[in-house]
């Protein structure tokens, strides 16, 4: 048999009597007469199947059951009182949980700044951050596991089927082993690096950027010599430090200072590929909290929001 449903008013009346230990004063506090209050406590005791008070003509005392219930009843009433405000805050996007995925390059600089600034503006929002590659994020969107994601791609090639906001564009630079013969130059000519073995991410991770890098080689009459593939940019840089090859990486990766690796800009007659980071999300937009984050991202990307 299931426990009976007990109205909040009975818990409110119980709490008043338990705190006053006097039915008359509790009735005054509740703006009611004493007989209905006495009946309400009797009803509550009947529903629970236990006595909550020991009564005499001179005193009212809590039983062990009543004393145990009092803090729980206070908590219940406090939570009930907070519910309307919580509902309004959730509707305004100020309360809830936002699930954000991000590619590793965003974690070097942009993500820490934005998370700190957004949490300062919306302290009651919970951010659930998940590192994931672009192809993983697309699968997570399909399964409804994330609300938005920071994705890397070639400029103008954001994933189809998602709304997106470009937030950063940066050039690619070349990561080389520190002992490499070309490492001593401040900048490199493209023709001097095209024959070097290449460490690169698999095409499925960022198809548009992968294709742009390969197109650069093909336009110069070269075929890339892929020596090793790796998923994360940190791993790619680590493999470069091991001497397995050179790697094209976003300029923001230069903040990842790995012993044995140097970063150099590259110049050539052909325009070098760049990369773009976008915030992507599915439509229609149903989450007020996501709407707040997108609005924040627009301001931050335009330099109008402090980060």
Class of domain 97-307: alpha beta
pLDDT value for 85: 76
Segment 173-183, tens digit of pLDDT: 999 999 999 99
pLDDT at position 298 over 90: yes
Segment 21-63, tens digit of pLDDT: 999 999 999 999 999 999 999 999 999 999 999 998 889 999 9
Mean pLDDT of 234-241: 96
Please list the residue range(s) of the chain that carry CATH number 1.10.10.10.
8-91
Q: Quick one: what percent of the chain has pLDDT higher than 70?
A: 97
Q: What is the pTM of this model?
A: 0.74
Please list the residue range(s) of the chain that carry CATH number 3.40.190.290.
97-307
pLDDT value for 3: 67
pLDDT value for 44: 95
Q: Quick one: what percent of the chain has pLDDT higher than 90?
A: 79
DSSP the chain: -PPPP--HHHHHHHHHHHHHS-HHHHHHHTTS-HHHHHHHHHHHHHHHTS--EEE-SS-EEE-HHHHHHHHHHHHHHHHHHHHHHHHHHHHTTSSEEEEEEE-GGGGGTHHHHHHHHHHHH-TTEEEEEEE--HHHHHHHHHTT--SEEEEEESTT-PPTTSEEEEEEEEEEEEEEETTSTTTTSSEEEGGGTTTSEEEE--TTTSHHHHHHHHHHHHHTT---EEEEE-SSHHHHHHHHHTTS-BEEEEGGGGGS--TTEEEEEEE-SSPPPEEEEEEEE-SS---HHHHHHHHHHHHHHTT-S--
Confidence category of residue 66, pLDDT binned at 50, 70, 90: very high
Q: Are 239 and 176 in contact (CB under 8 A)?
A: no
Q: Are 123 and 117 in contact (CB under 8 A)?
A: no
Confidence category of residue 295, pLDDT binned at 50, 70, 90: very high
pLDDT value for 302: 86
| CATH 3.40.190.80 for the 8-91 domain, yes or no | no
Q: What is the mean pLDDT of the chain?
A: 92
């Amino acid at each position: 048999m299931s426990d009976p449903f007990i109205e909040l008013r009975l818990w409110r009346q119980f709490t008043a009597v338990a705190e006053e230990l006097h039915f008359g004063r509790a009735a005054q506090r509740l703006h009611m007469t004493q007989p209905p209050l006495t009946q309400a406590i009797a009803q509550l005791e009947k529903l629970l199947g236990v006595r909550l008070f020991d009564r005499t003509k001179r005193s009212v005392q809590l039983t062990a059951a009543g004393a145990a219930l009092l803090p729980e009843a206070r908590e219940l009433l406090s939570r009930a009182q907070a519910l309307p405000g919580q509902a309004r805050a959730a509707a305004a996007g100020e309360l809830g949980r936002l699930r954000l995925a991000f590619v590793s390059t965003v974690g070097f600089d942009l993500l820490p700044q934005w998370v700190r600034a957004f949490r300062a503006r919306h302290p009651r929002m919970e951010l659930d951050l998940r590192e994931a590659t672009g192809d993983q994020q697309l699968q997570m969107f399909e399964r409804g596991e994330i609300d938005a994601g920071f994705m890397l791609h070639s400029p103008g090639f954001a994933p189809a089927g998602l709304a997106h906001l470009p937030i950063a564009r940066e050039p690619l630079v070349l990561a080389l082993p520190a002992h490499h013969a070309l490492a001593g130059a401040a900048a490199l000519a493209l023709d001097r690096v095209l024959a070097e073995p290449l460490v690169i991410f698999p095409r499925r991770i960022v198809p548009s950027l992968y294709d742009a890098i390969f197109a650069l080689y093909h336009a110069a009459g070269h075929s890339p010599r892929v020596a090793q593939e790796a998923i994360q940019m940190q791993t790619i840089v680590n493999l470069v430090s091991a001497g397995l090859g050179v790697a094209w990486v976003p300029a923001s990766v230069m903040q990842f200072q790995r012993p044995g690796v140097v970063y150099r800009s590259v110049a050539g007659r052909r325009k070098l590929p760049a990369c773009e980071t976008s915030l992507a999300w599915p439509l229609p937009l149903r989450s007020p909290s996501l709407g707040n984050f997108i609005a924040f991202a627009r301001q931050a990307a335009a330099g109008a929001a402090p980060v």
